[in-house]
Structure 1
Amino acid sequence: MVTTAPTTPLEAELLELAGSVPDPELPVLTLRELGVVRAVHARGTDSVEVELTPTYTGCPAVEAMSADIERVLRGHGVREVTVRRVLAPAWSTDDITEEGRRKLREFGIAPPRVRPPSGAVPVGLGPTRTRDPLAGAPPAGEASAAPEPVRCPRCDSADTELLSRFSSTACKALRRCLSCLEPFDHFKEL
């Protein structure tokens, strides 16, 4: 996670408050767990600037996030709150905390897979179906060197298929488990 360490106890307290705001699209997660609140800078005791990095540049939830952060901090006595969008470094699904990943799974959304620490972000459409490598060969016509499978958040099966590259939001794909036959959202890796 890229969060800047607070320099004062007040900034630490306000960062915790700003981070406790639920995500408007995934209210099971807080903005801290999602990894989008980067820093809070106090400008005296009654004025702060919050650094917020959207999950992607055109994210429609940024306005709601900003308004919710302002409301929470003003409710805590901060008179002037400025929420500034910070695009660099860009947000990545690696910024989602372990707690956030656990909550996504419990909510029925497959969390994004964790990328190897190489730093490279592979870009590609990839296979539409994933299988447990111990379950046998991949479907005909698909390469055997597939990425880690997307596991069903309900039964933990690795035998899942892609139904649509886009789901309820642009950051999620719609998949179906071929074991329990339940559809589920998968938070795409970015």
Structure 2
Amino acid sequence: MISNYPHKNGSFYLDNDSIKRIENIMMLVHEFRSMISNVGRLSYEHEGVIEINNRNKIFKEDVIKFKNIIQNMIGMKSLSLNDLNNGSLNVHSKFVNSELVLHLRLEKSYLDSFKQMSRIKWLEKQQDIISKRLKSEKYLQNASNCVQKKDIERLRDIQNELKLVRSFQKNAI
């Protein structure tokens, strides 16, 4: 991936946070691949939309620079950044974290409402588990602040994804 940036005669200099930046791109590729396999419509062409919070300018710039490489790694027809204008295609979305939301547009297909309902049930179950854990006195006493913070972030991410899936479900009806 790095060898293709910016071109064969150019060079890429590693700085202190380069590994984290590469991890972010690989996480993005992994999440899109898992979305495609979860939707289960591999014979159709997919279009990806990446929604990145404006606070994360470095990640946004990296996605723009590596757009073609990311698109080829995922095997998508097209990949765009923060462009949700095309409403004619069905959309499958995933809330990755507070900085990143991925949308997968599917041509010639429709969203399987059973899969949406299964995803909602699974998210609700995870939300209940984490909520109970966070309210447990034993957990509050024994878990480090770092672990508690990660659980709170995960709970927030689950709640946001639930809102997202439910809103798409309402719009599809």
TM-score relative to the length of structure 1: 0.28
Task: Determine which structure has greater relative contact order: mean sequence separation of CA pairs < 8 Å that are 6+ residues apart, divided by chain length.
Answer: 2
More strand by share: 1
TM-score relative to the length of structure 2: 0.29
